[in-house]
Copies of this chain bind each other. A is one copy, B any other.
Amino acid sequence: MTQQIGKQSIKFDNEPYILESASVVGDKEGNGPLGALFDNVEKDPMFGMKTWEQAESECQKKAVQLVLDKADITKSRLRYMFGGDLLAQLIATSFSAVELEIPLFGLYGACSTMGESLCLAGMCVSGGFADYALAMASSHFASVEKEFRFPLEYGNQRPYSASWTVTGCGAVIVSSTPGIARISGITPGKIVDWGLKDSMNMGACMAPAAADTIYQNLQDFERAPQDYDRIITGDLGTIGSKILIDLLKDKGMNISGCHMDCGVEIFNDDRQDTHAGGSGCGCSAVTLSAYVLPKLKSGEWKRVLFVPTGALLSKVSFNEGESVPGIAHGVVIESMN
């Protein structure tokens, strides 16, 4: 098959489109540098619900409804949904999906989930298995702190290498009919484990996986970094981004001129005390929707490599002394122009 190119990539013969996208974020994200770009900034961190997990589900529901409204289609047109979050057993997604009544493929790729969902929704639509598929990922600062670290009430101090989990959900409709952009290819990523164990420096844990996926994408598609207007990692933050650029320089690739990291863009550390940057599945998902896709839609950017990055960490594995492996999934998104 000609669609399989290189070692691990796909170049779609039958390109799936991104019909529409939507972003819903919390107050802190609304006050950040990208604040004015998000579709919906919710002031109440509880989203009107009783628990942090319900709040995250509610955030997902809002984003899904919004993308349906923007695309002007009903939920019954969505044949399948591909989505996930960071919580154990994906409870934010499971509970939000009850009302949607769409067949669900639950995904866990840590903060790479938006990449994983776009890869799978892309294959699904390109293969003719759906005309409309939903790709979605979310995170919530408070549900994630509870899941992975300390209760908020504990007032734990955070080192400068730590990132701040984004509260937000990005939802994208992948379609067989033209939309605001097109998915021309994907490079699903392998797990890469360099043995790092510092859950307060996840940028460093994920950078080797990001480097691996970006390197493989450039090899498989026989491209140079400058063939992309931007190579956009998910949530490496300031420290992980520096490591990524160094790792690729060691392999003879200089991406410093076109690299952008959603975690670096979404917060302003000087004003917002977010340290290394934003993180969480929601970070790359909402930045894609609010910042990246509009630039592709307008034609300002022609082609980007979107590479959400995940740190495969759990409190059990961490407490058992295991390392924090990384994973990163690459999605090539191009302008319709």
The answer on a CB contact under 8 Å between A103 and B317 is no
Cβ contact of A104, chosen from B86, B101, B103, B327, cutoff 8 A = B327
Contacts of A320 in B (CB 8 A): 51, 53
Contact with B along A124-154 (1 / 0, CB 8 A): 1011111100000000000000110000000
B residues within 8 A CB of A327? 94, 104, 106
Question: Could you say which of A24-32, A33-41, A107-115, A233-241 contacts chain B?
Answer: A107-115
B80 and A188 contacting across the interface, CB-CB below 8 Å: yes
**A120 within 8 Å of B (CB atoms):** yes
CB-CB nearest in chain B for A85? B108
The total of chain A residues at the interface (CB under 8 A) is 62
CA distance A94 to B89 in the complex (A): 14
**A200: B residues at CB distance < 8 A:** none
Comparing A260-268, A271-279, A295-303, A308-316, the segment that makes contact with chain B is A308-316
Nearest Cβ distance between residue A191 and chain B, in whole angstroms?
Answer: 5
Contacting pair B129 A95 (CB below 8 A): no
Return chain B residues, CB-CB under 8 Å to A108: 84, 89-90, 106-108
Q: Mark A293-337, 1 if CB is under 8 A from B, else 0.
A: 000000000000000000011111100101001010100000000
How distant is A324 from chain B, measured CB to nearest CB, in Å?
10
Q: Is A66 an interface residue (CB 8 A)?
A: no
Q: CB of A242 within 8 A of chain B?
A: no
| Other-chain residue from B103, B119, B190, B313 in contact with A8 (beta carbon distance below 8 A) | B103
Pairs across A and B, CB under 8 Å, 29 listed? A1-B129, A3-B128, A8-B80, A86-B89, A87-B314, A88-B147, A88-B314, A88-B316, A89-B313, A89-B314, A94-B191, A94-B312, A94-B325, A95-B317, A97-B190, A98-B191, A98-B193, A101-B190, A103-B188, A104-B189, A104-B191, A104-B327, A105-B107, A107-B107, A107-B108, A123-B127, A123-B129, A126-B127, A146-B316
